Amino acid sequence: MGNNNIYAAIREWAIARNLIDGCTAKDQALKLSSEFGEFALAFMGKCGQDEDKRYIDMKDGIGDSIVVLTIIAAQIGVNIETISPNPPSDFKYLAATYKVIGTQVAIGNLSDSLLKNNLIDARVQIRTVLDCLQRLENEFGFARYECVMAAYEEIKDRMGVMYNGTFIKSTDENYARAMAEIEALDQQRAANPD
């Protein structure tokens, strides 16, 4: 799967689970903070975590963050692969800790833009978050494609659907009812395309 095809696969996965239409970009901004928080925890070194596990968890945190950014971008009408991060500076002016903090600040700014429904600024903030993630990838020797592919491989077979802002797993007793209601809504939209 090529670099751009992975983003299309993520969008297809998200559409099949109603993540793009079933929740808002604001909801996904919270998920982005959660996913990047997992990177930050691994970066700080969880108690008893060996270096190999720490490395894997940091890589996964970046990949998961990019998956969520892909969904947010789709929700605001943009394909993430058309947004290029600013090329990372060869001048390492920030220690790794400041790069982590800077990324969290960028995620906060993206959340603020989404809360204010400022989609033009949200696109700029997605670019900034991608830039920050790229700086972290460079810091730790991660390849973007490897991060995203690892995250996608982990989620691609998860079954469930976003319903009223909550992800319902296929094993949940409410899954069949949610799917029936979503199908009914889709049929209503098809019958009344206004």
pLDDT per position as a tens digit, 96-154: 777 888 888 889 989 989 999 999 999 999 999 999 999 889 888 999 999 999 999 98
Question: How many CB atoms within 10 Å of residue 194?
Answer: 3
pLDDT at 41 over 50: yes
pLDDT at 165 over 50: yes
Q: Which domain holds residue 65?
A: 3-158
Give CA separation, 182 vs 25, 89, 160, 179, 192, in Å: 19, 46, 12, 5, 15
Contact yes or no for 49/42 (Cβ under 8 A): yes
Lowest-confidence region among 40-54, 145-159, 167-181: 40-54
- Shared-domain flag, residues 182 and 112: no
Place of tokens 């290029």: 84
What pLDDT, on the 0 to 100 scale, is given for residue 2?
62
pLDDT at 85 over 80: no
How much is the pTM?
0.75
Per-residue confidence band for 91, with pLDDT thresholds at 50, 70 and 90: very low
Structure tokens at 11: 């969008």
Kindly report the backbone phi and psi dihedral angles of residue 179, in degrees, each rounded to the nearest multiple of 5, phi listed first: -60, -40
pLDDT at 4 over 80: no
Contact yes or no for 148/5 (Cβ under 8 A): no
- Shared-domain flag, residues 178 and 154: no
Lowest-confidence region among 29-43, 91-105, 136-150, 169-183: 91-105
**163 domain-assigned:** no
- Shared-domain flag, residues 20 and 75: yes
- Shared-domain flag, residues 124 and 38: yes
How does DSSP classify residue 92? -
Higher pLDDT: 5 or 165? It is 5
What pLDDT, on the 0 to 100 scale, is given for residue 49?
67
Kindly report the backbone phi and psi dihedral angles of residue 167, in degrees, each rounded to the nearest multiple of 5, phi listed first: -85, 120
- Shared-domain flag, residues 153 and 189: no
**Burial (Cβ within 10 Å: 0-12, 13-18, ≥19) of residue 89:** exposed
- Shared-domain flag, residues 52 and 147: yes
pLDDT at 92 over 60: no
Taking the alpha carbons at both ends of the chain, their separation in whole angstroms is 37
